[in-house]
Structure 1
């Protein structure tokens, strides 16, 4: 597993997707999802030039945070239990899974500064996925405005695990439309400029549809 070589392939694909959609490569940030790999492999990613690291469990996040500290920009990308917020809140830079008011309330309670949050939207409607429904989004965001330490920087979704590229594209396109709708509300606590979408199997489509953060695990750093 050569992380630097993998990164080069991914960057080349991003360039192609940006060219196809008229975007700038600089608009796309790669998050190395290091949840299933060792500190040593995460170190390979950092040395290859990756700035953003993503974890989805407290234990794995805290282990790597203790090793890297502020050498990385930290993303918590998994479902976050309210009882575990206190352990990670002032260490993470972004939370990608804000999906309920009780979590927003706990972030407000535990944080000592503004926290950049993505609201997780279940665009596909799959019961197996977390996230609020698109129809609930506007109301949910307005209610989040009660919590001054929660900043809604963008939206996050996961596409269906399928080979149907049309269905995947529709999912990502819908999230982009929702982002535009939120921006049109003009809420100062919800600039909502970012889109966190796309993983190892569909990041090329996500980039074409406007992703600003893509979450790459297996394809970049493997799974051990």
Structure 2
């Protein structure tokens, strides 16, 4: 299928999932994950209406920003090393993988140097997979309370990556748990913090994620097809 056909299918599936969950008029932000995808194909997706690009690696993100420029918003969705923060802070709309205090300190420092505030999502490892980054559910609130001390970071919500499985129903609980956590944090009414975004759902599981409250999905293969590594 072409990128155009893929995007139409995704739009249709988003609509169905929203209707199924009683959120017919809600908006779901689609982030096109462009890891290993060449710029020509990314440009094609942009011409078809993609406005958000997500990258896993700083170096690849920098290269793509150089060529594509300011046509889209850029999201850092992969694990972010502290020593790479300086390269991307002024260039990205949002960091999806804030998961430790050393990273928060560096983000705050670099944002301050650039006279801006950086938007971030807290990465939560709901399933507690050893191979994945992110905080355990019970660690999130104390972590947020520490991050709120940094004046140049704005926490905008939560992000998770569910375990990969053919049986998507078996990971529905991951999305339910993150939604519950978001609601709990919202009720605490912290100053300078919002739970605007629940970034959960990828090519394999985004429909179930939307059914459970996601309003931001990160899709690569579903748009561009299987990657050639």
Question: Which residue does 1:64 correspond to in 2?
Answer: 64
Question: Which residue does 1:141 correspond to in 2?
Answer: 144
CA distance in 1, matches of 2:24, 2:93: 24
CA distance in 1, matches of 2:100, 2:62: 24
CA distance in 1, matches of 2:72, 2:24: 23
Question: Which residue does 2:36 correspond to in 1?
Answer: 36
CA distance in 1, matches of 2:108, 2:6: 38
CA distance in 1, matches of 2:26, 2:136: 30
Question: Which residue does 1:176 correspond to in 2?
Answer: 179
Tell me how far 1:88 sits from its aligned partner.
Answer: 0.5
Question: Which residue does 2:5 correspond to in 1?
Answer: 5
Tell me how far 1:192 sits from its aligned partner.
Answer: 1.4
CA distance in 1, matches of 2:214, 2:26: 12
- Work out whether residues 198 and 213 of structure 2, in 8 Å CA contact, stay in contact via their aligned partners in 1: yes
CA distance in 2, matches of 1:194, 1:143: 20
Question: Which residue does 1:203 correspond to in 2?
Answer: 206
Question: Which residue does 1:118 correspond to in 2?
Answer: 121
CA distance in 2, matches of 1:205, 1:4: 23
Tell me how far 1:26 sits from its aligned partner.
Answer: 4.5
Question: Which residue does 2:223 correspond to in 1?
Answer: 220
- Work out whether residues 150 and 189 of structure 1, in 8 Å CA contact, stay in contact via their aligned partners in 2: no
CA distance in 1, matches of 2:210, 2:67: 31
Unaligned runs of 5+ in 1: none
Question: Which residue does 1:164 correspond to in 2?
Answer: 167
1:174 match: secondary structure: helix
Tell me how far 1:35 sits from its aligned partner.
Answer: 1.0
CA distance in 1, matches of 2:85, 2:145: 22
- Work out whether residues 179 and 193 of structure 1, in 8 Å CA contact, stay in contact via their aligned partners in 2: no
Q: Which moved more, 1:15-24 or 1:71-80?
A: 15-24
Query: How high is the TM-score relative to the length of structure 1?
Result: 0.97
Tell me how far 1:211 sits from its aligned partner.
Answer: 0.9
Tell me how far 1:167 sits from its aligned partner.
Answer: 2.5
CA distance in 2, matches of 1:56, 1:47: 22
Query: How high is the TM-score relative to the length of structure 2?
Result: 0.95
| Pairing partner for 1:192 from 191, 195, 198 | 195
Count of matched residue pairs: 224
- Work out whether residues 183 and 193 of structure 1, in 8 Å CA contact, stay in contact via their aligned partners in 2: no
